[in-house]
Structure 1
């Protein structure tokens, strides 16, 4: 398997860029043990989504999606932003249309 190149991280550490889009990173102030427990729960919940879809089980799917959302909120990837300086949340915005545009322009196209 080829080595994966990690996605670029914005200079302030708030986002990664995937296919030109900003995605909020987890709160770096989370203790490592807590962060890992939340990542583990997120992966379990994502597998539960896959299983529920395959079984065409709507109640299980709704439950699994709620678990995914709860883990992402706890990680800081969704919900209230984890930074305190009042900067807006640019999650899911195209990097080229944000204040990160000049920084992002230094990377080769996806």
Structure 2
């Protein structure tokens, strides 16, 4: 699997033309890893809840995924401080990254 392209400012990766917010680079490596571990466990819980058709467990597991992503900075308040808007989930071609994305060759 190849590594997805990263926007020049390091805020997003691009997957199938869509921007996805990256983790906060200011997190200490051990803190980041702790949140990643929590996220992976929560994703396993989602898979298990889906397999068992347990709606209550699924809701709880999805809430844990969301909380871990907020802790990582991938959701919730943005981690940058320059006032730039959050373009998470926008198509790169429809954002200020459009020119960069067109040059990147994966558009």
The two structures have a TM-score, normalised by structure 1, of 0.94
Report the secondary structure of 1:85's partner residue: coil
- Name whichever structure is richer in helix by fraction: 2
Deviation at 1:109, TM superposition (A): 3.1
Q: Which residue of 2 aligns with 1:102?
A: 99
Matched, 1:87 2:84: yes
Establish whether residue 51 from structure 1 lines up as the match of residue 59 from structure 2. Answer: no
Number of corresponding residues: 107
Number of the residue aligned with 1:8:
5
Displacement, 1:5? Answer: 1.6
Residue 16 of structure 2 corresponds to: 19
Runs of 4+ aligned residues of structure 1 deviating over 6 Å after TM superposition are none
Q: How large is the Cα RMSD of the aligned pairs?
A: 0.9
From 62, 65, 70, the equivalent of 1:65 is 62
Q: TM-score if structure 2 supplies the norm length?
A: 0.97
Where do 5+ consecutive residues of structure 2 fail to align?
none
Partner of 1:30: 27
Unaligned runs of 5+ in 1: none
